[in-house]
């Protein structure tokens, strides 16, 4: 016979279990997209050419399926359906980006497009009318080609160019947009674009250009943040930061944390330490290793640009939250004499090599292995490295097969959100929000339309680009409605 004490004990156990799977009452859920990946209408009205327009049109072989974003999801015309999908999911916010060449056809503020301005006004107002917060990314890779012709991200003048562009957006939309992302994933803007492997502008100059780009991207972010802080925050009191793509680096068996820290300094540290650390500037170990590598290569100065005291102070502290895009993990080991190094095999300057673990789960993307525990470790690492600052997960997701029954995506989101909850509830990391990438299938950069990240399937063969919810969309909507992961069981495929 069960005693009253045993009943109470069982109820307490149930409550504890529910707490571990339940989100904080003020936690927010969202979805994300970006302009070039969904809008289409690449030459509609007075919009001008972006670097992705130029790449996909002049060098289609750079894209796996030789496709482009000329029409993509046709969200320029289908924006009302996009809002409806956000409503169906029940998200608290929708993160999207604004196309620089759509708003500023010359790349400069001497001409603001009336049609471009109205398009984003309609989208923002439409979201707000449905009770959904617009979260706006200022720059998500679609640089005006005119600015690329002037040197793009290797020209230090781009700090002012992006600042002027950001000020235009604040002037147009800051009365309604309360959360901003200045720049999305600087590491891909710099490290991928200058490796010549299918990312615009697809210039091969990995030794010098990527580090010039790194400095200029961070200075441009700081410029955009300071303009908001000084001129717009007093009236609108919004939040603004950048979103970093951060891979979790795990030391390989037999290696130490110090080995992984070398990779972290080149990756996360290069784009976070100047902004989020108390002292600012480059990570000291990165400066040391880059100086050593540069001398060995015959350079008179480090390939990592030096920062003046003024530049360090200009960048330091330019955040209101830590914007985190996270998808996967990598193992780290020390280089061996017989290693044949190539791009993305590791950080040659740091003396380490990066590899995938065969124990991690596969997804439909070769580069994206599922290691949910890596997210928890990364969140704790960010807190321990930079202090107890608010964190917004601005992207997390995986590709699936072209099917509505995307069980692998349900599994991925459940397990990654579960690890995020452990970081919140057990490690006391201050995570405020989670953004599923992405709302719908889209043009997935150099993968074209082969990679499907969408909660909604898009039929790209149909001129109307109809959107259909996948199993993962139903799962995510149920999680949001219940504010809990306990609903996951009915969406799983137990045979997987």
Q: With CA atoms as reference, report the closest residue to 100 among 239, 224, 233.
A: 224
8-state DSSP, 445: G
The β-bridge partners of 135 are 95, 179
Q: With CA atoms as reference, report the closest residue to 180 among 212, 217, 140, 138.
A: 138
Distance from C-alpha of 262 to C-alpha of 257, rounded to nearest angstrom: 9
Going by C-beta distance under 8 Å and a sequence separation of 6 or more, which residues neighbour residue 17?
Answer: none
Both structure tokens of 274? 């100047």
Distance from C-alpha of 480 to C-alpha of 483, rounded to nearest angstrom: 5
395 is catalytic: yes
Q: Are 435 and 419 in contact (CB under 8 A)?
A: no
- Angle, alpha carbons 26-29-34 (nearest 5°): 140
Phi-psi bin for 168: left (phi > 0), alpha (psi -120 to 50), beta?
Answer: alpha
Q: Are 193 and 200 in contact (CB under 8 A)?
A: yes
Burial (CB count within 10 angstroms: exposed 0-12, middle 13-18, buried 19+), residue 146: middle
What is the b/e burial string over 234-246, where b = at least 16 CB atoms within 10 angstroms of the residue's CB?
eeeebbbbbbbbb
Distance from C-alpha of 466 to C-alpha of 459, rounded to nearest angstrom: 6
Of the residues 133, 185, 250, 457, which is catalytic? 185
The β-bridge partners of 240 are 180
- Angle, alpha carbons 282-285-286 (nearest 5°): 50
Alpha helices (runs of H) in 22-157, residue ranges in sequence order: 35-38, 51-58, 75-89, 100-103, 114-129, 145-149
Whether cis (ω within 30° of 0) applies to the bond prior to 438 is: yes
Of the residues 133, 311, 349, 395, which is catalytic? 395
268 is catalytic: no
Q: Are 332 and 263 in contact (CB under 8 A)?
A: yes
Whether cis (ω within 30° of 0) applies to the bond prior to 247 is: no
Size of the chain in residues: 496
Going by C-beta distance under 8 Å and a sequence separation of 6 or more, which residues neighbour residue 409?
Answer: 397, 398, 400, 455, 470, 471, 472
Q: With CA atoms as reference, report the closest residue to 363 among 352, 371, 353.
A: 371
Active site residues per annotation: 185, 395
């Amino acid at each position: 016979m069960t005693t009253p004490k045993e009943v109470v004990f069982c109820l307490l156990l149930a409550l504890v279990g529910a707490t571990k799977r339940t989100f904080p009452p003020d936690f927010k859920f969202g979805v994300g997209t970006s302009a070039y990946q969904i809008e289409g209408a690449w030459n509609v009205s007075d919009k001008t050419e972006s670097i992705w327009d130029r790449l996909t049109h002049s060098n289609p072989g750079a894209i796996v399926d030789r496709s482009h974003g000329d029409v993509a999801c046709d969200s320029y015309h289908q924006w009302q359906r996009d809002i409806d999908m956000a409503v169906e999911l029940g998200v608290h916010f929708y993160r999207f980006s604004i196309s620089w060449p759509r708003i500023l056809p010359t790349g400069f503020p001497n001409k603001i497009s009336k049609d471009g301005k109205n398009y984003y006004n309609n989208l923002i107002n439409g979201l707000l009318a449905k009770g959904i917060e617009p979260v706006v990314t200022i720059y998500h890779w679609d640089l005006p080609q005119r600015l690329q012709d002037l040197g793009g991200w290797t020209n230090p003048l781009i700090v002012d160019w992006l600042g002027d562009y950001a000020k235009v957006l604040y002037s147009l939309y800051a009365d309604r947009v309360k959360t901003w992302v200045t720049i999305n994933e600087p590491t891909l803007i710099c490290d991928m674009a200058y490796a010549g492997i299918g990312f615009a502008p697809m210039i091969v100059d990995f030794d010098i250009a990527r580090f010039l780009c790194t400095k200029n991207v961070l200075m441009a972010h700081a410029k955009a943040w300071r303009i908001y802080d000084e001129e717009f925050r007093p009236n609108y009191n919004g939040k603004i930061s950048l979103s970093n793509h951060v891979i979790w680096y795990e030391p390989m068996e037999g290696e130490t944390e110090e080995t992984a820290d070398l990779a972290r300094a080149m990756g996360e540290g290069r784009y976070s330490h100047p902004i989020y650390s108390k002292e600012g500037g480059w990570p000291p170990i990165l400066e040391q290793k880059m100086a050593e590598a540069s001398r060995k290569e015959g350079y008179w100065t480090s390939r990592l640009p030096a920062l003046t005291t003024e530049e360090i102070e200009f960048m330091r502290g330019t955040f209101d939250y830590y914007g985190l895009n996270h998808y996967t993990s990598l193992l780290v080991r020390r280089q061996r004499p017989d290693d044949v190094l190539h791009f993305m095999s590791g950080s040659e300057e740091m003396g380490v090599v990066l590899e995938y673990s065969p124990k991690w789960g596969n997804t439909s993307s070769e580069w994206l292995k599922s290691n949910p525990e890596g997210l928890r470790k990364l969140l704790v690492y960010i807190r321990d490295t930079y202090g107890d600052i608010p964190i917004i997960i601005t992207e997390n997701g995986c590709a699936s097969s072209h099917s509505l029954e995307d069980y692998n995506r349900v599994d991925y989101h459940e397990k990654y959100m579960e690890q995020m909850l452990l970081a919140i509830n057990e490690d006391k990391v201050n995570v405020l929000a989670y953004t599923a990438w992405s709302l719908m299938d889209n043009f997935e950069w150099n993968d074209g339309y082969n990679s499907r990240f969408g909660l909604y399937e898009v039929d790209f063969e149909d001129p109307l680009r109809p959107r259909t919810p996948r199993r993962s969309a139903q799962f995510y909507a149920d999680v949001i409605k219940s504010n809990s992961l306990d609903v996951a069981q009915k969406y799983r495929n137990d045979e997987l």
